[in-house]
């Protein structure tokens, strides 16, 4: 079993690399522990709460008890299926703010500024604006990944945007274009009514080529001989040899886990577990970041929310309609309006994100007791808290220890309180007057800092955006794990490309930047010149220094 390139993980970045590396004529073997994504739970967009709660498709990871969140263990779903987390996520498509990538470059990820990554975003997309306005010049027209917008038929989607405008915020026709800041339509990786995961967009077309093969298996470790990665050993003893390079793309939890199992990481941690140290890299598993969010729910005066479909008959009808026609409510993730705003004056670009949903419901599918309602998922984008992923033992079958250390920075609490108060102001605008009855949660009686903090402690949940655990930086940076060409520092013939390399978390959901990393890394791996940098100027609020909106 050998190929030019052996890719570990058929997820968001791994599938993109399988497509691009095999496109070059090189032979590629992709190793994936999870199985097939065929079936309505994954392919039907509106069923998104199912796969992330199914052990068949999800690694089932949990955080350690989080001391600042009442010692709760938080769910940390990760896709265990072809397409990886793009097969179980909420299908929300956000590139991130231009400044995110400029910050990466400033942090040592040379060649990853916005001007450098925008051409890769354009290369990977086929963008369908759906007649809702937008920025064609900033978007891609012929990439494998189809990006669409929901129909926004429910009047609540427009009410949310109108309320933002009434509260004095910007609107934007395309937060993935020139102007992220403001209220406007949300984008989704849905195409012709189906979830457009990287399995559908990249992996299936790649596997049609004779030079690309998929193998099922759990990785025990990367084989390293004389300072060079030579192949991958599976837990059943099989070794798959890489003639050119091993490419690790197992995501922000499993990539550091596999490096540590292979003897790449902090020497003291490895020695304590009886793992032979191949490369002493202090940063492996550190710098873990995520987005936390709460749901703010409002009871609705009118029976126009999706709650009217929250019964077995309606769900069966929606399912049948989707199954036979790929249309109807089943064909959208229902996240169809969004906003990015700044929490205060002096913040240069948005640090708060809104996902608006015309039903009051939890990710695990529990509807609010109040019946008809709507909600927004809200949380700060750039938490200062940092956690880590470490091994419990050297047994590859054992889940790693995931400690986010959420809300360990005082600024996180300030930003979260601001989120609650700004959101109440938005829901109090005239645009919501016909619809808004009362606040279900947190509940209008929670007003003081202490009361809001207690609500956050009890109810904040992960937005499922872990990243940063194998940070990209300059080769002389002791905490960097990967250099700007995606080479694991200290080992030859080993690259790493997925959300674990993000130096800092991006603004918004992480699937789009994870795929972009796979696209850009492919050119580095093949030794190609990067795509020519874009010469564009993203919109920054002219009064950001003195005004919050």
pLDDT in tens, 512-543: 999 999 999 999 999 999 999 999 999 999 99
* pLDDT surpasses 70 at 300: yes
Distance CA 146, CA 192 (A): 9
pLDDT in tens, 374-423: 999 999 999 999 999 999 999 999 999 999 999 999 999 999 999 999 99
Give residue 365's pLDDT band: very low, low, confident or very high (50, 70, 90): low
Q: Which residues in 196-219 are b (16+ Cβ under 10 Å) and which e? A: bbbbbbbbbbbbeeebbbbbebeb
pLDDT in tens, 488-512: 999 999 999 999 999 999 999 999 9
Residue 531 lies in a domain: no
Active site residue 465: yes
Q: Is 150 annotated as a binding residue?
A: no
Share of the chain above pLDDT 70, in %: 98
pLDDT in tens, 143-188: 999 999 999 999 999 999 999 999 999 999 999 999 999 999 999 9
This model's pTM is above 0.95: yes
Handedness of CA 62, 68, 69, 71 (dihedral sign): positive
**pLDDT score at 252:** 98
Distance CA 516, CA 414 (A): 32
**pLDDT score at 361:** 83
* pLDDT surpasses 70 at 459: yes
| Strand segments (E) across 367-435 | 373-380, 388-390, 401-403
**pLDDT score at 42:** 95
Give residue 370's pLDDT band: very low, low, confident or very high (50, 70, 90): confident
pLDDT in tens, 37-93: 998 899 999 998 889 889 999 999 999 999 999 999 999 999 999 999 999 999 999
Phi, psi (deg, nearest 5) at residue 367: -80, 150
Contact 231, 246 (CB under 8 A): yes
Contact 96, 103 (CB under 8 A): no
Structure tokens given for 41: 């739970």
- Any idea what the CATH number is for the domain that residue 93 is in? 3.50.50.60
List Cβ neighbours of 226 (8 Å cut-off, separation of 6 or more). Answer: none
Q: 146, 465, 524, 541: which is the annotated catalytic residue?
A: 465
Contact 387, 404 (CB under 8 A): yes
Whole-angstrom CA distances from 414 to 100, 178, 377, 384 are 21, 29, 17, 12
Q: Is 71 annotated as a binding residue?
A: no
Angle at 503 between CA 499 and CA 504, to 5 degrees: 90
Q: Is 194 left (phi over 0), alpha (psi -120 to 50) or beta?
A: beta
Residue 544 lies in a domain: no
Q: Is 511 annotated as a binding residue?
A: no
Contact 211, 22 (CB under 8 A): yes
**pLDDT score at 149:** 95
Give residue 310's pLDDT band: very low, low, confident or very high (50, 70, 90): confident
Number of domains comprising the chain: 1
Structure tokens given for 403: 């400690």
Q: Is 284 annotated as a binding residue?
A: no
Residue 542 lies in a domain: no
Residue 545 lies in a domain: no
Contact 278, 37 (CB under 8 A): no
Contact 546, 347 (CB under 8 A): no
* pLDDT surpasses 70 at 19: yes
Whole-angstrom CA distances from 531 to 96, 513, 519 are 19, 16, 11
Distance CA 404, CA 389 (A): 8
Closest to 465 (Cα-Cα) out of 251, 217, 190, 156: 251
Distance CA 289, CA 500 (A): 9
Closest to 509 (Cα-Cα) out of 203, 186, 284, 195: 186
Give residue 363's pLDDT band: very low, low, confident or very high (50, 70, 90): low
H helix intervals, 226-273? 251-261, 267-272
Distance CA 248, CA 466 (A): 17
Instruction: Give the range of the structural domain holding residue 46, as residue numbers without chain letter.
Output: 2-526
Residue 454 lies in a domain: yes
3-state secondary structure of 164: helix
pLDDT in tens, 209-252: 999 999 999 999 999 999 999 999 999 999 999 999 999 999 99
Residue 182 lies in a domain: yes
Phi, psi (deg, nearest 5) at residue 270: -65, -45
List Cβ neighbours of 81 (8 Å cut-off, separation of 6 or more). Answer: 34, 35, 36, 37, 42, 51, 56, 57, 87, 88, 199
List Cβ neighbours of 400 (8 Å cut-off, separation of 6 or more). Answer: 61, 253, 254, 256, 257, 389, 390, 391, 392
How do beta strands 239-248 and 2-8 pair? parallel
Contact 319, 530 (CB under 8 A): no
Distance CA 394, CA 186 (A): 43
Phi, psi (deg, nearest 5) at residue 339: -155, 150
Residue where the block lists tokens 């990977």? 124
Q: Is 472 annotated as a binding residue?
A: no
Across all residues in the chain, what is the average pLDDT? 96
**pLDDT score at 367:** 67
Q: Is 81 annotated as a binding residue?
A: yes
Mean pLDDT along residues 205-212: 98
How do beta strands 28-32 and 2-8 pair? parallel
DSSP 19: H
**pLDDT score at 49:** 86
Residue 548 lies in a domain: no
3-state secondary structure of 413: helix
Residue 532 lies in a domain: no
């Amino acid at each position: 079993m050998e190929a030019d390139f052996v890719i570990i993980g058929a997820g968001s970045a791994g599938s993109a690399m399988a497509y691009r590396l095999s496109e070059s004529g090189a032979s590629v073997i992709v190793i994936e522990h999870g199985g097939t994504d065929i079936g309505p739970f994954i392919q039907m967009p509106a069923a998104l709460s199912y796969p992330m709660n199914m052990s068949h498709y999800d690694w089932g990871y949990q955080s350690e008890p989080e001391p600042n969140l009442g010692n709760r263990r938080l769910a940390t779903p990760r896709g265990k299926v072809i397409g990886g987390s793009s097969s179980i996520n909420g299908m929300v498509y956000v590139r991130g703010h231009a400044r995110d990538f400029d910050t990466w470059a400033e942090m040592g990820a040379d060649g990853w500024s916005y001007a450098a990554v925008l051409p890769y975003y354009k290369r990977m997309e086929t963008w369908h604006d759906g007649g809702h306005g937008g920025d064609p010049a900033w978007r891609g027209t012929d990439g494998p990944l189809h990006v669409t917008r929901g129909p926004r038929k429910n009047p609540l989607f427009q009410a949310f945007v109108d309320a933002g405008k009434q509260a004095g915020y910007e609107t934007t026709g395309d937060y993935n274009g020139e102007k992220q800041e403001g209220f406007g339509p949300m984008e989704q990786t849905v195409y012709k009514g189906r979830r457009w995961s990287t399995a559908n967009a990249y992996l299936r077309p790649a596997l049609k080529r004779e030079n690309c093969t998929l193998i099922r298996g759990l990785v025990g470790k990367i084989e390293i001989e004389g300072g060079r990665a030579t192949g991958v050993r599976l837990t059943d003893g099989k070794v798959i040899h890489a003639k050119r390079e091993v490419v690790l793309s197992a995501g922000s939890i499993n990539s550091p886990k596999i490096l540590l199992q292979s003897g790449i990481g902090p020497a003291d941690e490895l020695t304590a577990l009886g793992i032979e140290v191949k490369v002493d890299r202090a940063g492996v598993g550190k710098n873990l970041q995520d987005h936390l969010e709460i749901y703010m729910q409002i009871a609705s005066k009118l029976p126009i929310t999706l709650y009217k479909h929250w019964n077995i008959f309606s769900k069966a009808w929606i399912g049948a309609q989707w199954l036979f026609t790929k249309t109807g409510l089943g064909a959208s993730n229902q996240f169809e309006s969004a906003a990015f705003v700044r929490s205060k004056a002096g913040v240069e670009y948005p640090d708060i994100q809104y996902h608006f949903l015309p039903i009051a419901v939890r990710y695990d599918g529990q509807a609010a007791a109040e019946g008809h309602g709507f909600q927004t998922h809200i949380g700060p984008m750039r938490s200062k808290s940092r956690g880590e992923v470490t091994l419990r033992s050297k047994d590859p079958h054992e889940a790693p220890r995931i400690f986010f250390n959420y809300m360990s920075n005082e600024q996180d609490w300030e930003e979260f309180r601001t989120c609650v108060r700004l959101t109440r102001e938005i829901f109090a605008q005239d645009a919501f007057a016909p619809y808004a009855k009362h606040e279900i949660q947190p509940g209008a009686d929670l007003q003081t800092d202490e009361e809001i903090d207690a609500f956050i402690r009890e109810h904040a949940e992960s937005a499922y955006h872990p990243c940063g655990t194998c940070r990209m930086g300059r080769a002389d940076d002791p905490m960097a794990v990967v250099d700007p060409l995606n080479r694991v520092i200290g080992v030859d013939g080993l690259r790493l490309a997925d959300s674990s390399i993000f130096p800092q978390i991006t603004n918004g959901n992480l699937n789009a930047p994870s795929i972009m990393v796979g696209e850009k890394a492919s050119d580095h791996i093949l030794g190609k010149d990067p795509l020519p940098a874009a010469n564009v100027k993203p919109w920054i609020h002219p009064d950001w220094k003195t005004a919050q909106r």
